[in-house]
Structure 1
Amino acid sequence: MPGNSLSRRSVLLSGAVLAAAAPAVPAAASELRGVGRPMRPGQLFTLGVASGEPLPHGVVLWTRLARDPLAENGLGGMPDQAIKVDWEVATDERFKNVVQRGQAEASPRWAHSVHVEANGLRPGTEYFYRFRARGELSPVGRTRTAPAPGTLGALTMCFASCAHYGEGFFTAYRRMAEDEPGLILHLGDYQYEYADNPSKNVRKVEGPETVTLANYRQRHAQYKTDPDLQLAHATAPWLVVFDDHEIENNWAAEVPEDKSETPGQAFLERRRAAFQAYYENMPLRWESMPQGNGIRLYRRRQWGSLANFHMLDTRQYRDDQAYGDGNKPDGPDLKVPERTITGKDQEVWLLDGLRQSRARWDVLGQQVWFAQMDHDPGPAKILPMDAWDGYQASRQRIKAGFSTTRNVVVLTGDVHSHWAADLKDDFDDSRSRTVAVELTTTSVTSGRDGADTNEGGDKLKAANEHVHFYSARRGYVRTQFTPEQVRADYRVLPYVSKPNAPVTTAASFITQDRDPGLHAV
């Protein structure tokens, strides 16, 4: 940062300080361009550190011990015994001013993961944290508490989705970290269940298709060994939700992808295993610890009075996709009032939260296209069954709730391309009132290098007048929230098949307070 001989950014981008006694020195330019200095195999903290779930007085601190991250049994080469882990939080990266410290237990029951809920911190404050176990010290992470209630201010927030380890390098995560956001959202498909595909992949995926708890633990561990992902986790607190690939492609509630299978015990066991591994590997609060057959991921986090983040789960409680998966003609089943993508309880929770909100911006962090996306430019209507188009009555009820609050921004992942759209009262009438905006991020790697445009995207944009922009490149979205407006920068990479791609902004839009709709910058 200006005026500091040692910037916090240089410490983090050079890969995190590995020893308390080592003096912090400015990183060389070559280090900033490299992959950082992750822990060596055989050390305890090979999976890095992370933070999440910021509140005004606390934040979750995460790590997971793993000397052999890719061990087939999913236990990271760790012994079948609990290990004491010390943690500390400081106001400086050299830990001269430690404000909180304590001890946690890394248990084999939870794959030696640690979830510390550090409390008693000051609102709206930057902190640094680290762990120590058996004489080894973790990398340093940077985090931030949420501002106090009533605070407006500004927030830089980046969000991402869809990161297939095999299909490319995670450079987008590094570029996101370089933007120095105060908060990062991940909207699903953090990892993929598929086995390796040597004819398609540019990086080897370890293990078979993930089905068992050991499989999911091993897959999460491989992802966490990536230095670019580690850097993004160590730079800012995260809020996360899953989509389908954290478990299995296109699953719905208790229904597996293969509709010929009878929903039952085998899929429920797979789902339970995936839920447990997801909790173990994410900086989530104890309230999200899996219980029985489920995991509670829909939740609300406030960023002062500037923004409420309503994090949704559109997968666990939904009715199965109508007419099968894919793009299908519009039909009566899509309009059945009882069909839901959120489940009744989550819908009531969301509508109550919007009605009671006093935030300047209400933000829905969710997984699949909210806007209508008609795939037929002619008079017919061809809609994606796996998106809100497949649950039209459910969408209409949520849209009605938008009128009870000041400003709504919907954030979306899933589709491996960037999109910017106005949300209309009536999507079939371009003159209809705009009630909110939808910002959709492309993938981190899924789909490999991509392109600026493609034939399918061109046709889709042309068939939907409420769409302002799309790009089929890989990347993420950077947003800047202020009391007056939200700015969205669509960040893109020219390739992910090789590491260290540069990043540029393909398009920027703003939406203004009490004036829903997107305006190109």
Structure 2
Amino acid sequence: MKIDRRSLLGLFGAGTASCATTPDLVSAAAVDVRFDHGVASGDPAPDSVVLWTRVTPPAGFDATLPVAVAIGASPDLSDATIRTLTTGPDRDYTVKLVAGDLQPGRDYWFQFRVGEATSPLGRTRTLPVGATARLDLAVVSCQLHPGGLFNAYDAIAGLEALDAVVHLGDYIYEYGAGDGAYGMATGRRLGRIPEPPHEIVTLADYRLRHAQYKSDPDLQAAHARAPFICVWDDHEVANDTWMHGAENHQPATEGDFDARKAAALRAYYEWMPIREAAPGTLPEAINRTFDFGDLASLMMVETRLMARTPPLSHGDLEFVPGSDGTPVPDLEAFMARRNDPSRELLGAGQRAWLRQELTRSRSEGRPWQILGNQVVMARVRGPDVSTLMPPAQLEAVLAGLEPEIRARVESLIALFKLDVPFNLDAWDGFPAARERLYALFREAGVQPIVLAGDSHAFWVNELHDEAGQRRAVEFGTSAVSSPSPADALGGIPLGLALSMVNDEVRFCDQASKGFVLMTLTPDHAEVALMGVSTIFAKPYDLKPVKRYHLPRETGGLGALTEV
């Protein structure tokens, strides 16, 4: 069917959804609008998918607008169905429609229209049902806008085979544009200055930051290519978030944390192609399952806001008088706090849900269970990098570092000689909770693939419980553009050091940026760690940093091999 202004306006009022209730509905033909933030889709199901855009109204406009969306099974939309809805200032002119009555396992194309203005064309895909021979997923995390260009998203947009993009969090960052702010050395050089220029705290702040990120053309291209399946990590609210606070939240100057969290989550639901929280449920309950036919189940878990207990940091390691009166680290007390069984990430309710979903997936015959999880799960103790090179070489490397970075590196060298975990914000800071999760895997009779983000590094890990039994294989994706720990370390081979001193770590790359590309068939998984050659310029090259083969065998996962 032809999509013209007359046919669209004739359908207003007969739509399937409404995004606003403001009574001042105006004629779309009377308003000069744009679609500055592209289009997106997400949360696919066999018969539906979320479609999203944001209408950019003229400055000072504050009425409600009618919006039409066409969705069809051909790129020219010749067979499109048109649905109508409204949007307005109460939801920042974002538009979200759960498009239903779709066929499973099919590509669809969609486009929004207000008056004569049309959005870019988007492509999406529903979940398959029944026999499914192949699944292609791109896995991303950590996209600091001032940190660099989103070349990884440009590469994802060009993939020939792609069922969905799995985003594991840190979609936005909360920091401002002040001197010394996170990533701003690069941001100023590239002209990528945070909007607003201060740290975001209010609803208006979070909305403007989401708008800036979705103005990026590479991110828009990836969103227009395939549906996203997303969870948040910490920076969607503030750094190192837990249930009732965050490392980067100061109540004395930034107000009540719950108010800040509520503003962040409202903006997230407005600006992301994700289904709204079900009536009667908390907005924090973002955990949900996606079944890809008879091949795989993807369970997205929430590890920040539903149950995470107060964080533990390396700064909590206290010093006590030694036998000769000299201060020594009280490692025993520190480890006792770390091993406290009350320390939690998922919570009992989410574990019960996950046990049910894993058991159901296995009982329904799917060979693959995938955990979309935010933070690295493997046991990773901090490396003593002083053992990796002669003292003179290490001193030369340290001498080349900025004074502040050198002081931090020297303190970590001393700290990691004590055999403490590398990252306490990851599962390593919650070992009892990790054992409860591994027990759940055992009870459900599954060995899943665990996906992880957050760390700004590539990881390939084999996960074992305290008894030494392999419980899962983990693939961690590096950042799209956020700084990695090794970026400032000169010649210190941090990734190599981590893989050398940790039995669970098969591979770690602390320098590359990019994404994980995973292809599943009924009998094996092929996983490529895809790196972009630069995030500071275009053009760029894309190539695999490493490739791995993981067979599916009776009773669990087979031997992981590099290919």
Identify the TM-score tier after normalising by the shorter chain: 0.7 to 0.9
Contact 2:43 2:228 in 1 (8 A): yes
Change over 3 Å in CA distance of 1:129–1:326 after alignment to 2:
farther
The residue number in structure 2 matching 1:434 is 470
Change over 3 Å in CA distance of 1:466–1:64 after alignment to 2:
same
The structure richer in helix per residue is: 2
User: Within 2, Cα distance between the matches of 1:229 and 1:95?
Assistant: 23
Instruction: Please state how far the C-alpha of 1:385 moved relative to its aligned partner.
Output: 1.6
* Secondary structure class of the residue paired with 1:220: helix
Contact 1:327 1:385 in 2 (8 A): no
* Secondary structure class of the residue paired with 1:159: strand
User: Within 2, Cα distance between the matches of 1:394 and 1:103?
Assistant: 46
Residue 299 (1) aligns with residue 306 (2)? no
Task: Could you tell me which runs of 5 or more consecutive residues in structure 1 were left unpaired when the two chains were aligned.
Answer: 1-18, 22-41, 69-76
Residue 519 (1) aligns with residue 555 (2)? no
Residue 391 (1) aligns with residue 427 (2)? no
* Secondary structure class of the residue paired with 2:269: helix
User: Within 2, Cα distance between the matches of 1:44 and 1:304?
Assistant: 38
Contact 2:148 2:186 in 1 (8 A): no
1:58-77 counterparts in 2 under 5 A? 58-67=48-57, 77=59
Task: State which drifts further: 348-357 or 373-382.
Answer: 373-382
The residue number in structure 2 matching 1:412 is 452
* Secondary structure class of the residue paired with 2:212: helix
* Secondary structure class of the residue paired with 1:287: coil
Instruction: Please state how far the C-alpha of 1:241 moved relative to its aligned partner.
Output: 0.4
The residue number in structure 1 matching 2:62 is 80
Instruction: Please state how far the C-alpha of 1:486 moved relative to its aligned partner.
Output: 1.2
The residue number in structure 1 matching 2:138 is 158
Larger Rg: 2
1:196-215 counterparts in 2 under 5 A? 196=177, 197=181, 198-201=184-187, 202=190, 203-207=192-196, 208-215=198-205
The residue number in structure 2 matching 1:488 is 527
The residue number in structure 1 matching 2:169 is 188
Residue 462 (1) aligns with residue 466 (2)? no
Change over 3 Å in CA distance of 1:62–1:483 after alignment to 2:
same
Instruction: Please state how far the C-alpha of 1:112 moved relative to its aligned partner.
Output: 1.2
Deviations 1:11-42 (A, max 9, x none): xxxxxxxx989xxxxxxxxxxxxxxxxxxxx8
User: Within 1, Cα distance between the matches of 2:314 and 2:307?
Assistant: 14
User: Within 1, Cα distance between the matches of 2:559 and 2:380?
Assistant: 17
1:276 corresponds to which letter in structure 2?
R
Change over 3 Å in CA distance of 1:375–1:326 after alignment to 2:
farther
Contact 1:113 1:280 in 2 (8 A): yes
**TM norm structure 1:** 0.84
The residue number in structure 1 matching 2:112 is 131
1:372-391 counterparts in 2 under 5 A? 372-376=379-383, 380-391=419-430
Contact 1:376 1:382 in 2 (8 A): no
Deviations 1:219-269 (A, max 9, x none): 110111111000000000110001111111112111121587589961111
Residue in structure 2 matching 1:140, options 121, 139, 145 = 121
Residue in structure 2 matching 1:309, options 295, 298, 304 = 298
Instruction: Please state how far the C-alpha of 1:171 moved relative to its aligned partner.
Output: 0.8
Task: Could you tell me which runs of 5 or more consecutive residues in structure 2 were left unpaired when the two chains were aligned.
Answer: 6-31, 318-330, 385-416
Residue 273 (1) aligns with residue 311 (2)? no
The residue number in structure 1 matching 2:74 is 92
Change over 3 Å in CA distance of 1:163–1:205 after alignment to 2:
same
Change over 3 Å in CA distance of 1:356–1:253 after alignment to 2:
same
Residue 118 (1) aligns with residue 99 (2)? yes
Change over 3 Å in CA distance of 1:397–1:277 after alignment to 2:
same
User: Within 1, Cα distance between the matches of 2:201 and 2:460?
Assistant: 35
Contact 1:422 1:437 in 2 (8 A): yes
- Number of corresponding residues: 468
Instruction: Please state how far the C-alpha of 1:109 moved relative to its aligned partner.
Output: 1.2
Instruction: Please state how far the C-alpha of 1:200 moved relative to its aligned partner.
Output: 3.8
The residue number in structure 2 matching 1:102 is 83
Contact 1:371 1:388 in 2 (8 A): yes
Instruction: Please state how far the C-alpha of 1:379 moved relative to its aligned partner.
Output: 7.0
Contact 1:247 1:274 in 2 (8 A): yes
Instruction: Please state how far the C-alpha of 1:423 moved relative to its aligned partner.
Output: 0.8
Change over 3 Å in CA distance of 1:56–1:303 after alignment to 2:
same
2:247 corresponds to which letter in structure 1?
E
Report sequence identity in percent. Answer: 33
1:317 corresponds to which letter in structure 2?
M
The residue number in structure 2 matching 1:32 is none
Deviations 1:303-362 (A, max 9, x none): 112111111110002343443367966611222222210122112111221122232211
The residue number in structure 2 matching 1:332 is 336
Residue 367 (1) aligns with residue 374 (2)? yes
Deviations 1:179-230 (A, max 9, x none): 2311101101001111125534232222111111111111110111111000
Instruction: Please state how far the C-alpha of 1:151 moved relative to its aligned partner.
Output: 2.4
2:338 corresponds to which letter in structure 1?
L
Alignment RMSD (CA, Å): 2.6
Change over 3 Å in CA distance of 1:233–1:454 after alignment to 2:
farther
Instruction: Please state how far the C-alpha of 1:366 moved relative to its aligned partner.
Output: 1.2
1:501 corresponds to which letter in structure 2?
Y
Instruction: Please state how far the C-alpha of 1:467 moved relative to its aligned partner.
Output: 1.2
Deviations 1:441-496 (A, max 9, x none): 00000017959985332222211122111222110010001111111100011211
User: Within 2, Cα distance between the matches of 1:258 and 1:158?
Assistant: 30
Change over 3 Å in CA distance of 1:279–1:433 after alignment to 2:
same
Residue in structure 2 matching 1:48, options 28, 35, 38 = 38
1:275-290 counterparts in 2 under 5 A? 275-287=265-277
Change over 3 Å in CA distance of 1:263–1:312 after alignment to 2:
farther
